[in-house]
Amino acid sequence: MHLAEGDHRRPHIGRQAGPRNPPHGAGPSSHPSHAAVTRLSPASPSLPRRQGGSLMTIRRRALLATPLALPALLPRVAGAQADGRPVLRIAVQALPPTLEPLEAISNVGLRVTYNVFDTLWRRDFAREAREGGRHLTPFVATSLVQRDPLSWVAELRTDVRLQDGTLLTSADVLSTFSAERMWGERTQTFEGRVNFGHLAGVEAEGPHRVVFRTQSPDPVMPQRLAAYGGWIHSAAFYAAQGLDGMRRAPVGSGPYRVASFQRDQRLVLEAHDEYWGGRPPVRQIVFTAVPEASSRLAGLHAGDYDLVTNLLPEQAESLARHPRVEGVEVPLDFAHILYYDTRRGPLRDARIRQGLNHAVDYDTLGRSLWGEGYRRMAALQIPAFGELYDADRKGFTYDPDRARRLLREGGYGGEELIIRIAPNYYLQMLQAVQVIQEMWRAVGVNTRLETRENLASVTQPGADIRPTSIAFRFPDPLGGGLAVHLSKEYSLQRSGFWQPVRYNAIVDALRVATAPEDRKRLWLALLDEYEAEAPALILYPVREYIGKWRDMRWSHPPLYYMDFRATNLAFG
- What pLDDT was estimated at residue 453? 87
**Taken in order 369, 330, 219, 233, is the CA torsion positive or negative?**
negative
Q: Quickly list DSSP for 495-554.
A: TTS---SSHHHHHHHHHH--SHHHHHHHHHHHHHHHHHH--EEEEEEEEEEEEEETTEEE
- Average pLDDT of the residues in 50-70: 33
312 burial level (CB within 10 Å; 0-12, 13-18, 19+): middle
- What pLDDT was estimated at residue 74? 32
Please report how many Cα atoms fall inside a 13 Å half-sphere around the Cα of residue 386, on the Cβ side: 13
What's the mean per-residue pLDDT of the chain?
A: 86
The secondary element (H helix, E strand) that includes residue 237 is: helix 235-248
Contact 141, 253 (CB under 8 A): no
Q: Quickly list DSSP for 69-103.
A: -HHHHHHHHHHHHH--PPEEEEEES---S---TTT
Compare 78 and 523 and report the one with higher pLDDT: 523
Contact 124, 259 (CB under 8 A): no
Contact 260, 267 (CB under 8 A): yes
pLDDT of 22 above 60:
no
Q: At what angle do helices 55-65 and 70-82 cross, to 10 degrees?
A: 160
**Which phi and psi (to 5°) does residue 355 adopt?**
-60, -40
- What pLDDT was estimated at residue 480? 92
Contact 328, 38 (CB under 8 A): no
Burial 187-221 (b: 16+ CB within 10 A, else e): bbbebbbbbbebbeebeeeeebbbbbebeeebbbb
Residues of the chain with pLDDT > 70: what percent? Answer: 86
- What pLDDT was estimated at residue 73? 32
- Collapsing DSSP to helix, strand or coil, 13 comes out as helix
Residues 475-532 have pLDDT tens digits of 999 999 999 999 998 889 999 999 998 999 999 999 999 999 999 999 999 999 999 9
Contacts of 279 (CB under 8 A, 6+ apart): 271, 273, 566
pLDDT of 349 above 50:
yes
**Which phi and psi (to 5°) does residue 455 adopt?**
-70, -30
Residues 197-246 have pLDDT tens digits of 999 999 999 999 999 999 999 999 999 999 999 999 999 999 999 999 99
- Average pLDDT of the residues in 382-395: 92
Residues 106-163 have pLDDT tens digits of 989 999 999 999 999 999 999 998 888 889 999 999 999 999 999 999 999 999 999 9
Residues 316-340 have pLDDT tens digits of 999 999 999 999 999 999 999 999 9
Closest-CA residue to 471 (of 459, 483, 460): 483
- Average pLDDT of the residues in 405-411: 98
Question: How many angstroms from the chain centroid is the CA of residue 159?
Answer: 28
Please report how many Cα atoms fall inside a 13 Å half-sphere around the Cα of residue 64, on the Cβ side: 6
- Average pLDDT of the residues in 439-455: 95
- What pLDDT was estimated at residue 166? 97
- What pLDDT was estimated at residue 81? 55
CA distances, 275 to each of 67, 96, 103, 254 (Å) = 31, 24, 24, 7
- Average pLDDT of the residues in 187-197: 87
- What pLDDT was estimated at residue 547? 97
- Tell me the residue type at 127: R
Measured CA to CA, the distance from residue 368 to residue 212 in angstroms comes to: 47
Compare 332 and 37 and report the one with higher pLDDT: 332
What domains does the chain contain, in order, with CATH numbers? 13-117+254-324+550-571 (3.40.190.10), 121-232 (3.90.76.10), 333-543 (3.10.105.10)
